Amino acid sequence: MNIEIINIGDELLIGQVVNTNASWMGEQLSLAGFKVHQFTIIGDTREHILEALWRAGERSEVVLISGGIGPTKDDITKTTLCDFFGTRLVFNEEAYKDVEALFARRGYAVTELNRQQAYMPEECLSIVNNFGTARGMWFEKDIPVPGRQGKTIYVSMPGVPFEMQAMMKDYIIPELTTRFHPNSIYHKTIMTQGIGESFLAQIIEEWENNLPQSIKLAYLPQPGMVRLRLSGTGDDETSVHALVEEEANKLSLLIPEYIYGTDDDRLEALVGKLLKEKNCSLATAESCTGGYIAHLITSVPGSSAYFKGSIIAYDNDVKEQMLGVMPETLEEFGAVSAEVVIEMAIGAQSNLNVDYVISISGIAGPEGGTKDKPVGTTWIAIATPEEVFSKQYLFGDSRDRNIRRAALQALNLLRKNLLSH
Amino acid sequence: MNIEIINIGDELLIGQVVNTNASWMGEQLSLAGFKVHQFTIIGDTREHILEALWRAGERSEVVLISGGIGPTKDDITKTTLCDFFGTRLVFNEEAYKDVEALFARRGYAVTELNRQQAYMPEECLSIVNNFGTARGMWFEKDIPVPGRQGKTIYVSMPGVPFEMQAMMKDYIIPELTTRFHPNSIYHKTIMTQGIGESFLAQIIEEWENNLPQSIKLAYLPQPGMVRLRLSGTGDDETSVHALVEEEANKLSLLIPEYIYGTDDDRLEALVGKLLKEKNCSLATAESCTGGYIAHLITSVPGSSAYFKGSIIAYDNDVKEQMLGVMPETLEEFGAVSAEVVIEMAIGAQSNLNVDYVISISGIAGPEGGTKDKPVGTTWIAIATPEEVFSKQYLFGDSRDRNIRRAALQALNLLRKNLLSH
């Protein structure tokens, strides 16, 4: 059984609004075990809405529609739905009472525009909207498709995200689940850092080729990380779950050094959790990342429990005066060197009185590269209560991506050290 | 002339990735004067891709496709395109040289998987990818549609946003513009900071109601700023241009104190430009923003010319030791106070030896609020060669948004000071 989604609204096509409704609906339906076949995004145009309704119904048994049912002139979906289903708008007392009650709660009188929202298609089941004036509409229609059993379901919802979301959760997904008993589906995402998509693919090729047919693998690359998502489907929830976990375990054994977590894990939060467990504190001493590592760390609520602060030493004077880097070290080895990041780390550990320090110095670009140290050259040091060590990396050409990749690499270096001690 | 967009990727359908490619493409095409007719989002399935290609070609003269052309097994778009256009993959020397060069820059050998990316459909014009290994593909095909003149254009691009964006900007939009001469369209975006959408709408209501029919206004809110975009269309480029500029000037006179720039202006870059003109240096002393202001400043290429560094004083010890904030000041007024941000600013100015300092301390949330100082309470100080001043703000409940709003507010305060001295 396939589900399709149609989002209606000119503002979506001109990119004025990012279509988060589609991704939210897709995610919730997938989590409930349904297969989402297509999203179709169209403008507020009668003929185009009619065509999209037909095409979707030909491909899929259930069509969910959002948008275009507000009170303003450009919202033509409701009358178009009447045409499509061969029905007409009639005044719905119950719907009107809801609108009245909503306006009373907000302290307003009902406007004529909003009164018109109580007119509903005669041949539909209307769905209560607890957060707005536009009710949902559940239609069923015979669509002539070979092999299709029963009527095709069309549900129209408001485009306002929290109104649509409440309707989906409270009514539509439970009702679809009762009717269709979807297959069990289980997703697990393995988060990797420090290796590119194609290198990863080579290492895990044999495992990937031998995956059971019921499990799909997706590579989801982002700057500095690749997420590997396993999705398993089947009749029996327990065995689907077990099979995906088994394959995830096999995968983990192939690339242990690149995996930092699963699903929604973020490196900055994992590092924070480990520091809290050890009751240890952290600081950063950043040059090329310019505060981005500190920003990631402090984006985690509660990070003040372990993060004390940073010295952002963009200028060499600041490296010397606030971190105690020796002028001779800068002179002899240059700012982007093992020697300098080590002195930065030790300086921050002592001056900020912390257990752990991430220090970093590199050439983010676009300027500043040389033959020996091209743009992307980056040194990272980690100071711990026991030792200080450093590593060199060569990232790419793009300033934004270099900053992001360097920050994730540095956080993962610290995470690995915290885990192994 | 209509343009359609097809985004391919299972990850889009299950909501793991929000489809920002669609909105970005829709926006750029609209800005160039094209009409976007539909977005279609489908999974990595051969039959479905073929169907979507046909349907889109029947509705629209140009079909832009993103996603599914990476090196991994789940990426089947390229072979499916060969089937659709009745062509085959052949090894492309030029494409291979690009892949080799990219890998050489990164210091890696080309893998077999990436070598395969140099196989391109024989019957297409391949488009250089300056940021990745998957080239774009420009196809033309006769699609039998009544009234359609010439061939229908299909262009396939990578799904990685910055690779797709570069291809669109550098090649595809200019080429489409040359071929189709869309209506003259002229956009001007007024960037505002420090005022919400609905307050702004009230102030400019009368002006908005009197806008000429050929000019449309869009409110584009983001955390901490609202962009006001004026779009004018018409036959004559010069008069469209003049009319939009005239209305933009009227608008500027209504809200001068909230406007910091136009179009792609970024506060962090404007501040940098002013500092360079004055030959002055900058540092930040950040508590609640945790390095985010420094990150914004250093995201600008060449910022090392004026930015010396930061003290991120998340912990009060760091405020005392690295910025010289007095323990008594912290004790008496609390870390989120005028007195503390002023001492932070003076301390950073002296310790980092700079002309200007932004200092900031606030309660980003979700914890840490009190009755007197709820979450969102933020103090900002600016130290200049002549003075130090501070201001209090109350932002909202969301940690991420508070950090963003505080950073933009602080940068704008400094910008206004730099302009007025």
CATH classification at residue A70: 3.40.980.10
Burial class (CB in 10 A: 0-12, 13-18, 19+), B421: exposed
In whole angstroms, what is the distance from residue A310 CA to residue B303 CA? 19
Are B253 and B280 members of one domain?
Answer: no
- pLDDT of the residue at A174: 96
Question: Which of B11, B17, B42 lies closest to A38 in CB terms?
Answer: B42
Q: Let me know whether A289 and A175 are in one domain.
A: no
Contact yes or no for B314 and A303 at CB 8 A: yes
Is B68's pLDDT higher than 90? no
Contact B17, A9 (CB under 8 A): no
ipTM (interface pTM): 0.81
Residue A294 neighbours by CB under 8 Å, 6+ apart: A284, A286, A307, A309, A310, A312, B290, B291, B294, B295, B312
Q: Which of A206, A227, A262 is the last residue of a domain?
A: A262
Pair B253, B279 in one domain: no
Question: What integer best gives the mean pLDDT of chain B?
Answer: 94
**Residue B396, token pair as written in the block:** 């909202």
Number of A:B CB contacts under 8 A? 281
Residues A162 and A42 in one domain: yes
Confidence at residue A73, expressed as pLDDT on a 0 to 100 scale:
66
Q: Residues A155-192, buried b or exposed e (16+ Cβ, 10 A)?
A: bbbbbbeebbbbbbeebbbeebeeebebbbbbbbbbbb
pLDDT of B184 above 80: yes
Res. B249: pLDDT tops 70: yes
HEC string of B377-399 equals EEEEEEECCCCEEEEEEECCCCH
| Residues A279, A154 share a domain | no
Intervals of chain A under pLDDT 50: none
| Domain match, B80 and B153 both | yes
> Could you say which of B30, B283, B298 has the minimum Cβ distance to residue A15?
B30
Q: pLDDT for B298-343, tens place per residue?
A: 999 999 999 999 999 999 999 999 999 999 999 999 999 999 999 9
Same domain? B277 vs B250: no
A14/B30 touch (CB, cutoff 8 Å), yes or no: yes
Are A394 and A307 members of one domain? yes
pLDDT of residue B158: 94
Please tell me the number of Cα atoms within 13 Å of A286 on its side-chain side: 32
Pair (B120, B41) in one structural domain: yes
Q: How many CB atoms lie within 10 A of CB A369?
A: 15
CA distance B253 to chain A (A): 25
Q: What is residue B51's three-state secondary structure?
A: helix
Nearest CA in chain B to A25: B15
Q: What is the pLDDT of residue A111?
A: 79
CA distance B22 to chain A (A): 7
Q: Which CA distances in Å does A418 have to A259, A310, A326, B93? A: 15, 19, 28, 47
User: Is A171 found in the same domain as A305?
Assistant: no
Nearest to A301 among B11, B48, B399 (CB): B399
Question: Does the pLDDT of residue B397 top 90, yes or no?
Answer: no
Band (pLDDT 50/70/90 cuts) for residue B198 is confident
What DSSP string describes B291-311? THHHHHHHTSTTGGGTEEEEE
The domain boundary residue, chosen from B232, B262, B292:
B262
Least confident window among A226-235, B151-160, B169-178: A226-235
Q: For residues B227 and A107, which has the higher predicted lDDT (pLDDT)?
A: B227
Task: Write down which residue in A163, A180, A197 finishes a domain.
Answer: A180
CA distance A320 to chain B (A): 10
CATH number at residue B234: 3.30.70.2860
Q: Are residues B100 and B204 in the same domain?
A: no
Summarised one tens digit per residue, pLDDT across range B212-226 is: 999 988 888 788 899
Total tally of structural domains belonging to chain B: 3
Q: What is the CATH number of the domain that holds A300?
A: 3.90.950.20
> Is residue B418 scored above 90 in pLDDT?
yes
Supply the range of the domain harboring residue A234: 184-262
Contacts of A18 in chain B (CB under 8 A): 18-20, 23
Shared domain check, B143 and B27: yes
Q: Do A38 and B40 touch (CB under 8 A)?
A: yes
Q: What tokens were used for B166?
A: 């570069």
- Residue B288 pLDDT exceeds 70: yes
What torsion do the CA atoms of B128, B129, B135, B139 make, to the nearest 10 degrees? Answer: -50
